[in-house]
């Protein structure tokens, strides 16, 4: 019979569901962001500080992915906004189907912002579209400044780089200028924010970024 | 390590294509992997073999075509391959270039016998 040409995405099933999610977010005017980093960079801390800043009645929800435990969802639920854990049971990334299932019983018409905290991993989440408007990659100064060179995919695909834990800069050998150069070497023009979830430094820039990104969506 | 999930997705496609061709056997499946796809070819091959072993899909080979990252220069419009994260245009030296390829994770073809 010979060769049958297919030329389709390996993850076409995931992409199909992601497209459905993206359309649904667009219909409801929801900004969805997909936050990705190594374990321990401070994704959950950033979400805590973010939710803390929002006024009561802000139409925001978070989905948080982990291999085991619902610790993160419990940390985030205390701010009074909807927070749901997706426990992957061993899988190192979230996929669109898991997100769609998690959202099934949430009325999307009540939301303006959905933040998805992916499983801590700089590689695998890169391949899976979740229907987000933007991927955001976080790197803490307790890690190596050469992460953008070591894990180029996620830095190339993310709109924004958040450099976290800048309060630790005096105590760690992290070279901020190099980190920024490496990120822009991989992704020219990449937006970069420096924050500390401990001291709150830079968080206003992050909140502004979210507002601006949401406004872009409605333009 | 998500290569096992990727291998499984490839096999899902092989199975559904095989179902359309009763009596035939798929002997080879071709995939294209970009340098920025986040997929490690060796881990993918390993996961693929593990999933195929002992099933009716045997013998089935995975053929991986690796493709580099490609950028397009915003100034002179040249599209070029990026071997080692140097994104500057090799023709005009402009630093502003756009990624136009390299994140492929594509199922390209099947070889079918019978």
pLDDT tens string A202-218: 999 999 999 999 999 87
A172 in any annotated domain:
yes
Task: Give the pLDDT of residue A99.
Answer: 97
Domain span at residue A181 reads 12-218
**Residues of A contacting chain B (CB within 8 angstroms):** 1-14, 91-93, 95, 123-124, 126-127, 149, 152-154, 156-157, 185-189
Contact between residue B101 and residue B70 where contact means Cβ atoms under 8 Å apart: yes
Q: What parts of chain B have a pLDDT lower than 70?
A: 1
Cβ contact A3–B10 (<8 Å): no
Categorize the per-residue pLDDT at A134 as very low, low, confident or very high, splitting at 50, 70 and 90: very high
Q: In 10 A of CB A27, how many CB atoms?
A: 10
Which residues in chain B touch residue A94, judged by CB atoms under 8 angstroms apart? none
Structure token pair of residue A141: 């100064």
What beta strand segments (E) does A60-208 contain?
A: 60-66, 83-87, 113-117, 134-140, 160-164, 191-194
Which residues in chain A touch residue B13, judged by CB atoms under 8 angstroms apart? 6, 8, 10, 12
Q: Which of A50, A205, A52, A159 is nearest to A115 (CA)?
A: A50
Mutation pick from B1, B2, B45, B84 vs chain A, by most beta carbons of A within 10 Å, is B2
Question: Residue B48's beta-bridge partner residues?
Answer: none
Tally of structural domains, chain A = 1
Q: What is the pLDDT of residues A147-175, one digit of tens each?
A: 998 888 899 999 999 999 999 999 999 99
A42 in any annotated domain:
yes
Q: What is the pLDDT of residues A38-87, one digit of tens each?
A: 999 999 999 999 999 999 999 999 999 988 989 999 999 999 999 999 99
For residue A13, give the nearest of B9, B108, B109 by CB distance: B9
Per-chain mean pLDDT for chain A: 95
Task: Give the pLDDT of residue B96.
Answer: 81
For residue B9, give the nearest of A10, A152, A185 by CB distance: A10
Q: What CATH number is attached to the domain comprising A28?
A: 3.40.50.300
CA distance B22 to chain A (A): 12
Could you give the CA distance from residue A115 to residue A61 in angstroms, rounded to a whole number? 6
Residue ranges per structural domain of chain B: 3-113
Task: Give the pLDDT of residue A161.
Answer: 98
Task: Give the pLDDT of residue B1.
Answer: 65
- Nearest C-alpha in B relative to A189: B96
Average pLDDT in the A96-124 region?
Answer: 95
Structure token pair of residue A214: 């949401």
CA distance A157 to chain B (A): 9
For residue A124, give the nearest of B21, B38, B85 by CB distance: B38
As its CATH architecture, domain B3-113 has 2-Layer Sandwich (3.30)
Cα B67 to Cα A38, A85, A164, B32, B41: the distances in Å are 26, 36, 33, 7, 12
């Amino acid at each position: 019979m010979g060769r049958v040409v297919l030329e389709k995405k390996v993850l076409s099933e995931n992409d199909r569901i992601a497209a459905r999610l993206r359309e649904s977010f667009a219909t409801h005017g929801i900004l969805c962001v997909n936050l990705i980093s190594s374990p321990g960079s401070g994704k959950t801390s950033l979400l805590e500080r973010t939710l803390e800043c929002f006024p009561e009645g802000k139409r925001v929800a978070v989905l948080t992915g982990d291999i085991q435990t619902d610790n993160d969802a419990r940390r985030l639920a205390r701010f009074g906004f909807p927070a749901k854990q997706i426990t992957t049971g061993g899988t190192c990334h979230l996929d669109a189907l898991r997100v769609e299932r998690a959202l099934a019983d949430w009325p999307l018409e009540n939301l303006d912002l959905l933040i998805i905290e992916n499983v801590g991993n700089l590689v695998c989440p890169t391949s899976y579209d979740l229907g987000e408007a933007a991927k955001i990659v976080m790197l803490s100064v307790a890690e190596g400044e050469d992460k953008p060179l070591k894990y180029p995919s996620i830095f190339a695909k993310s709109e924004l780089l958040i450099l976290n834990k800048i309060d630790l800069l005096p105590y760690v050998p992290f070279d901020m200028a190099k980190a920024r150069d490496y990120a822009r070497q991989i992704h020219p023009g990449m937006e970069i924010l420096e924050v500390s979830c401990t001291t709150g430094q830079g968080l206003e820039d992050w909140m502004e970024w979210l507002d601006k990104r949401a406004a872009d969506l409605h333009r | 390590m998500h290569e096992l999930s990727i291998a499984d997705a490839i096999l899902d496609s092989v199975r559904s294509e095989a179902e359309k061709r009763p009596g035939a056997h798929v002997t080879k499946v071709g995939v294209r992997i970009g340098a920025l796809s986040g997929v490690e070819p060796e881990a993918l091959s390993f996961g693929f073999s593990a999933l195929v072993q002992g099933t009716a899909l045997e013998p089935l080979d995975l053929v991986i075509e690796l493709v580099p990252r490609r950028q397009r220069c915003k100034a002179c419009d040249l599209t070029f391959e990026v071997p080692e994260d140097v994104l500057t245009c090799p023709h005009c030296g402009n630093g502003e270039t756009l990624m136009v390829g390299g994140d492929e994770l594509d199922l390209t073809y099947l070889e079918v016998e019978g």
